[in-house]
Amino acid sequence: MKLLVGPKDRKYLVDDEKTELHTNYGVVKLDGAMPGDVLESHTGYKFSVIAPRIVDLSEKLPRAGSIVLRKDLGYIIACTGAGSGDVVVDAGTGSGTSAMFFGNIVGPDGKVHTYEIREKFADIAEKNIKKASLDKIIKIHMQDIREGIAQKNVDIVNLDLPDPWEVVPHAHRALKPGGFFVAYVPYVEQTQKTVEALKEHFSGIKTFEIMEREIEVKGIGTRPKTRMLGHTAYLVFARKY
């Protein structure tokens, strides 16, 4: 995939085999275009060619359902210390965003196993993962993770499911000592049930919420934006010792 950035920072994600991009700013010939090139449309607009980063892919690839936002995903990555070579188990896959962020981090020495039971989502995720060239790193399992986790010596189990407490014993068996359990749950009741289930198996159980506030630095003055997101989910962390 290539990313073209045109006027007003409009982004266009294009397949490598594509030879032409049609935009509101004219047609751009793509033959042999490489990251770093600056192309011109037939009407004279400039387009920069970029190797898309995971943030571009997650922004431009098709989505199904809601995705875990960067404020939350970043916090999960930082608190678990996700890194190159890690083995991550993820569920549900959804459109694959979380799996792709993890896949991008664990790299060729790591592995992401992502579980999804909704065929529609698995299909979208599969295509997205392929387009992100992460299909050697991420494996989609069309299985119900509540029935078990086949993997062993896992570093992180990351759950975006309505009932993560059902996965707690499986996660404990799958994780290596020092491995992290993470659940993303919108409701307090889910948080409580997850914490309760974790107590039997895990240590270091902690729950957080992350609030992101954009600051506008403009000519008229500096101030936080009028609108912000009040809540996405609680993040429940636990660790196997």
Q: Which of residues 23-82 bind its own copies (CB under 8 A)?
A: 35-36, 48-56, 58, 70-71, 73-82
Which one of residues 42, 108, 148, 150 is an interface residue with its own copies (CB under 8 A)? 108
- Binding residues for its own copies, rule CB under 8 A, total 80
How far is residue 16's CA from residue 2's CA, in Å, rounded to a whole number? 6
Applying CB under 8 A, does 231 fall inside the site for its own copies? yes
Contacts 24+ apart (CB under 8 A), 7-11: 7/45, 7/46, 11/56, 11/59, 11/60
What is the enclosing helix (H) or strand (E) of 145?
A: none
Judged by CB under 8 A, which stretch of 3-11, 12-20, 25-33, 163-171 contacts its own copies? 3-11
Span from 17-25, 111-119, 122-130, 204-212 in contact with its own copies (CB under 8 A): 204-212
Nearer to its own copies, 18 or 71 (CB): 71
Nearer to its own copies, 55 or 150 (CB): 55
Give the Cα separation of 90 and 116 in Å (integer): 9
Identify the residue among 5, 39, 117, 142 touching its own copies (CB under 8 A).
5
What's the closest the beta carbon of residue 142 comes to its own copies, in angstroms?
Answer: 26
Residue closer to its own copies by CB (options 145, 185) is 185
Interaction residues for its own copies, span 142-201 (CB under 8 A)? 155, 176-178, 186-192, 195
Considering beta carbons, is residue 40 or 147 the nearer one to its own copies?
40
Q: What angle do CA 128, 131, 137 make, to 5 degrees?
A: 80
CB 55 within 8 Å of CB 218: no
Q: Please give the helix or strand (H or E) that residue 80 lies within, else none.
A: helix 70-80
209 to 228, contacts with its own copies by CB under 8 A? Answer: 209-217, 220-228
What single DSSP character describes residue 232? Answer: -
C-alpha angle 164-169-170 in degrees, rounded to nearest 5: 85
